[in-house]
Structure 1
Amino acid sequence: MSAHFDAELAIAHRLADAARGEIAPLFRSGVLAERKSDASPVTEADRAAEAAMRRILEVERPQDGIVGEEYGVTEGRSGRQWVLDPVDGTISFMVGRPIFGTLIALLEDGWPVLGIIDQPISEERWAGRLGAPTTLNGRPVRTRRCRALEDAALATSSPHYFDAGQAEAYMALAHKVAGNARQGMIAYGGDCYNYGLLASGHVDIVCEAGLQVFDYAALVPIVEGAGGSVSDWQGNPLDDKSDGTIIALGDPARLDDVLEAMG
């Protein structure tokens, strides 16, 4: 294996191509959704895309484990796991908003070392891997510097996903960014797409909670490879056992400011 995971990245791109081939034809097609046991929606696109990715991995990486949102865990024996979220942002997909994405990650001993965010409709693909710069459609991207929280653009999928204590902490951060008509901005919606925008220098902070490993594993190499940082709400790096709270920063120097604002 090369230091930069070249072979694994090539497979990840093939997985993203396969998922895109299943998802794009169903976009704005009136595809129906069902409710899973946790009441979250799932569509034919979610299931078909994950199944297509699994077929590739079962042939080419049979020794690796798989963790997928729709079809669960397949145990491996290599110490590596491919983590798949075929449609991160299923509600956005269902209502015709092209800000969802396919997430593909590779974990080694529980740590994210490779990630892809693929937006099948706009055909934007961010790719990050340990030891190499993050790219958007093959071209390197960088996060931007942020002098203060009052200058930041803050994004989150929805404050409704926070419990009461988390909502209080998030609102304290939001007030620091944009309270009292300051210059900072807040954007809602976007799911994984927000992290691609952060990696490309358009967003400064993404703050979320309640995520599963298939929601966040791919984001870590992408943000960090572009010069940013990703941690939980205590400032700890993310692995497969993290608690699902996320602070992604384009400028890592703002971490202490965010943690202080959130109390």
Structure 2
Amino acid sequence: MRLTDIERFLDQLGDEARAIAMEHFRTRFDVETKSDATPVTNTDRAIERRLREMIASRYPTHALVGEEEGGRIADGVNWVIDPIDGTKSFATGLPLFGTLVAILQDRRPICGMVEVPAMRERWIGFADRTSCNGEPCAVSACAHVRDARLCSTDPRMFSGEAARAFATLAREVRVTRFGTDCYGYAMLASGHVDLVVEDGLQVHDVMAIVPVVQGAGGIVMTWSGDPIDGNFQGNIIAAATQSLHDEASRWLGRPRV
């Protein structure tokens, strides 16, 4: 697979996801609750179904994994799809939802796309570069927690000791914003946010995020400092710089009172 071909194809996937999402955004539709208590709409299903069709037609030997239709990550090349990251936002007319598509090679994410239809913005990231709507983007130079702009989707995604750890960190940063879903990571890649901390995530939530943030110069790891691959399940720290990541990790690991 040539990177130029992949980038062009990701744009095609993004265009298709945007068209389907915007056809239904801010219209009346049913929202179902899945067995894991997360919401889903027919738009989620339609986007994933269409992207699967396009990928299978173009790369018939590649494995496919999606939030709605499942699948298992295997060795070789895998595509991981989250058709609507931020279904709650989509269902309530808020624009910060997105479609995430990642390519994994032997369980490691090598490129990713964050398509945000309502904002008409699209990030595509590789190991050495990330662009937004075709223009290069880069993380900030923020090095300390006290100066950081922190985003997270929902404080209720943390529980027990993790909730206390996050609350401790959130008191130390310059500003905290919630409700961002995948958009927080995109803003980090573009230098407008410095730190994203989350918990309770699945593979489809993060695989596209990793190359988008790393390609812009950022750091993405678990709270314990492990790299994120196809075996991921749990928590994440995405930071603009290594020093900020290390400092945030220390705050999250401190005993709470």
Please name the residue that 2:140 is paired with.
Answer: 144
Describe the SS at the equivalent of 2:200: coil
Name the aligned partner's letter for residue 163 of structure 2. A
C-alpha distance after superposition, 1:54-73 (max 9, x if no partner)? 11011111100011001111
Separation (CA, whole Å) in 2 of partners of 1:209 and 1:226: 22
C-alpha distance after superposition, 1:31-61 (max 9, x if no partner)? 1111111121100110010011011011111
Name the aligned partner's letter for residue 7 of structure 2. L
Q: How high is the sequence identity, in percent, across the aligned residues?
A: 42
Please name the residue that 1:24 is paired with.
Answer: 22
Describe the SS at the equivalent of 1:208: strand
Normalised by the length of structure 1, the TM-score is 0.93
Q: Once the 2 structures are TM-superposed, how far is the Cα of residue 220 of structure 1 from its aligned partner?
A: 0.5
- Among residues 221, 230, 244, which one is paired with 2:220 in the alignment? 230
- Asked if the contact 1:115–1:217 (Cα under 8 Å) also holds between the matched residues in 2, the reply is yes
Name the aligned partner's letter for residue 126 of structure 1. W
Separation (CA, whole Å) in 2 of partners of 1:224 and 1:150: 22
Over the aligned positions, Cα root-mean-square deviation in angstroms equals 1.3
- Asked if the contact 1:235–1:255 (Cα under 8 Å) also holds between the matched residues in 2, the reply is no
Please name the residue that 1:163 is paired with.
Answer: 159
Separation (CA, whole Å) in 1 of partners of 2:72 and 2:8: 21
Please name the residue that 1:63 is paired with.
Answer: 61
Q: Once the 2 structures are TM-superposed, how far is the Cα of residue 252 of structure 1 from its aligned partner?
A: 2.0
Normalised by the length of structure 2, the TM-score is 0.95
> Structure 1: which 5+ residue stretches go unaligned?
178-183
Separation (CA, whole Å) in 1 of partners of 2:144 and 2:211: 24
Structure 1 residue ranges (4+ consecutive) displaced by more than 6 angstroms after TM superposition: none
Please name the residue that 1:96 is paired with.
Answer: 93
- Asked if the contact 2:73–2:107 (Cα under 8 Å) also holds between the matched residues in 1, the reply is no
Q: Once the 2 structures are TM-superposed, how far is the Cα of residue 75 of structure 1 from its aligned partner?
A: 7.5
Please name the residue that 1:105 is paired with.
Answer: 102
Separation (CA, whole Å) in 2 of partners of 1:240 and 1:166: 23
Question: How does 1:115-126 map onto structure 2 within 5 Å?
Answer: 115-126=112-123
Please name the residue that 1:188 is paired with.
Answer: 178
- Asked if the contact 1:232–1:243 (Cα under 8 Å) also holds between the matched residues in 2, the reply is no
Q: How many residues align?
A: 253
Name the aligned partner's letter for residue 150 of structure 2. L
- Asked if the contact 2:73–2:230 (Cα under 8 Å) also holds between the matched residues in 1, the reply is no
Name the aligned partner's letter for residue 6 of structure 1. T
> Structure 2: which 5+ residue stretches go unaligned?
none
Please name the residue that 1:180 is paired with.
Answer: none
- Among residues 70, 73, 91, which one is paired with 1:72 in the alignment? 70
Describe the SS at the equivalent of 1:85: strand
Describe the SS at the equivalent of 2:125: strand
Q: Once the 2 structures are TM-superposed, how far is the Cα of residue 147 of structure 1 from its aligned partner?
A: 3.5
Q: Once the 2 structures are TM-superposed, how far is the Cα of residue 74 of structure 1 from its aligned partner?
A: 6.7
Describe the SS at the equivalent of 1:116: strand
